[in-house]
Amino acid sequence: MAKKINTNSESYLKMYSQMVKIRSFEDQANQLYLDAKMPGLTHMYSGEEAVAVGICEALTVKDKITSTHRGHGHCVAKGAELKQMFCELLGKEEGYCRGKGGSMHIADQSNGNLGANAIVGGSMGIATGSALRAKLNGDSDVTVCFFGDGATAQGLLYEVMNMAALWNLPVIYACENNGYSEYTATDEIAAGDILDRARAFGIEAHKVDGQDVLAVNKLATDLVARARKGEGPFFIELITYRYHGHHVGDINRTYYRSKEEEEDWKKNKDPIKILGDWLVSEKIASDDELQIIRDNIAAEAHVAVQYALEASYPNSNEVDMHVYMETT
């Protein structure tokens, strides 16, 4: 565990709560799938919570993120409400995108989330462009581009990192390396060291334990502050693990990874447990207090999902609405 980053117990407990919130959201979303109540598929973030929370807790509401098909964690971590998220997953009118985006396209502009993206690597240009806008306008916000190890195989990453480095853009490339590119081990798709790819452009690159939220947050806080001062871009590789398959329907997966490996991560490297143990050992919270936090958030997620199940679908007249924006 990293050393204390500040003496603010509140911020530790916030990180704990946010990670629990993501886990609770995903547990409910998975159940919606198993109960055949959710249209389509979704990609679970469970196991990777420390990445999204550690980074987003280093950001302000004005800072931007771009997200991925495995994006619920980023969305929650950046401040989204569970009710509107569940409504979106179920294609309801009150969803963040009025039911038009679904799980893979949730965008929450009010909190600086420029959207999940169902094209692997598709948001790298968007994140870098947001940073270009910040630089051109003299805006102080920083943009974080979340993507997985699988997306490092997309050429776009290298085009935009080149420009970000040439122009010192305030963008942080956050590579969530969960060890698997869909159904294939990352070792089989990534040659060399991923960090070296960023370093080839002269981009300062760091590797961090993505299960240790305090370590992630400490590094992110430092890099965000430096990016704000014009020292960007930066690249972070966060070593993490997805507890579920590539998507909720990817149940039988022993052909690409063992159950023992999954159990080992869940038992010994769970980000919520790691922070919880530390909070108790540092006497910031007791086991009972953490249990209350978990129970309250689970109840909140339950209420939110029930709300979404009963919420209205969009009116049929919305089908051709929002294709074009009316220019005023």
Cα diameter, the chain: 59
Residue 18 or 117: which CB sits closer to another protein?
117
How far, CA to CA in Å, does 216 sit from each of 56, 87, 93, 176, 263? 10, 30, 36, 11, 23
Q: How far is the CB of 183 from another protein (least distance, A)?
A: 22
3-state secondary structure of 170: coil
Residue 216, classified by CB atoms within 10 Å of its CB into exposed (0-12), middle (13-18) or buried (19+), is buried
- The residue within the footprint of another protein, chosen from 2, 13, 156, 200 (CB under 8 A), is 156
Residue type, 222: D
Residue 135 or 226: which CB sits closer to another protein?
135
Q: Count interface residues toward another protein (CB under 8 A).
A: 48
Q: How far is CA 91 from the centre of its chain?
A: 21
Q: 171 with 233: CB under 8 angstroms?
A: yes
Check residue 160 for interaction with another protein (CB under 8 A).
yes
Check residue 326 for interaction with another protein (CB under 8 A).
yes
End-to-end Cα distance, the chain: 53
Check residue 200 for interaction with another protein (CB under 8 A).
no
Cα gap 145→163, rounded to integer Å: 15
Residues 86-115 that bind another protein (CB under 8 A): 95-101, 105, 107-109, 114-115
Q: How far is the CB of 9 from another protein (least distance, A)?
A: 34
Cα gap 55→78, rounded to integer Å: 9
Residues 28-87 that bind another protein (CB under 8 A): 64, 66
Q: How far is the CB of 237 from another protein (least distance, A)?
A: 21
Q: Which stretch binds another protein (CB under 8 A): 11-19, 52-60, 121-129, 205-213?
A: 121-129
Q: Which stretch binds another protein (CB under 8 A): 17-25, 36-44, 126-134, 208-216?
A: 126-134
What residues make contact with another protein under the rule CB under 8 A? 64, 66, 95-101, 105, 107-109, 114-115, 117, 119, 122-134, 136-137, 143, 155-156, 159-160, 162-163, 166, 321-328
